[in-house]
Amino acid sequence: MAIDPAEVARLILAGQVPPAAWIPDILELRLERSYITDLRPLAALTALTHLHLTRSRISDVGSLASLARLQRLHLSFTAVRDLTPLAGMAALGGCFLTGSLVNDVTPLAGLVKLERLDIGDTRVNDATPLAGLRNLRSLDLSGTRVSELAPLAALAGLQYLDLTNTPVTDLSPLAGLTELRWLITRGTRADISVLSHLTSCQIVTAAVVLKRRSYTAPAS
């Protein structure tokens, strides 16, 4: 069935659930920069795989807990703080939280399919919950309060890591991440010499780029 995305968005913004016959075919919903605050109509959209809410007015994502098929979730620049409703999203491969009010990523600890996680410019100060995300390829911690990288030591597949403007000083936990291709340390006091053996890694410090190598981040 051909579904009009604009009509779906109109219904949701009006607080209405789309017709039941449409539900299986609503796979993506774009509500970025919208005035939506109530996500309850989305709870019925159980076929959704991609949801875009960047720069919307939401703060409570409790109604998203039923969306077990979600693969990409965009919540950047929203007032979202509590990620508990995301804990059961086992299919989630990309989660985008830049500029939100999130301060604890513990609910994401079991989302082992995550390949990309953006939590830049949030209030997160502890990366420990990320230690088991073995499929993570791209991680943005820029502007956070994370200072200890030991939890990342086991993320063997990590290819991109942004530490811009964090209090990180010790990069030695990254020494075993041989797949790392991009490391950004602008605005930190980190000593990059401990990673001199990672010859395939491009390190960006200030405006200086060391060890050139291309990298393509997992799709957003």
For 79-127, what is each residue's pLDDT tens digit? 999 999 999 999 999 999 999 999 999 999 999 999 999 999 999 999 9
Q: For position 2, what pLDDT does the model report?
A: 76
Which residues of the chain fall short of a pLDDT of 50? 211-215
pLDDT at 195: 96
Domains of the chain, start order: 1-124 (3.80.10.10), 129-215 (3.80.10.10)
SS3 23: helix
What is the CB neighbour count within 10 angstroms for residue 83?
23
DSSP lists the bridge partners of residue 210 as: 203
Q: What is the pTM of this model?
A: 0.93
pLDDT of residue 43: 97
Distance (Å, whole) CA 192 – CA 173? 12
**E strands, 5-63, in order:** 28-30, 50-52
Contacts of 43 (CB under 8 A, 6+ apart): 63, 64, 65, 66, 67
- Beta partners for 139? 117, 161
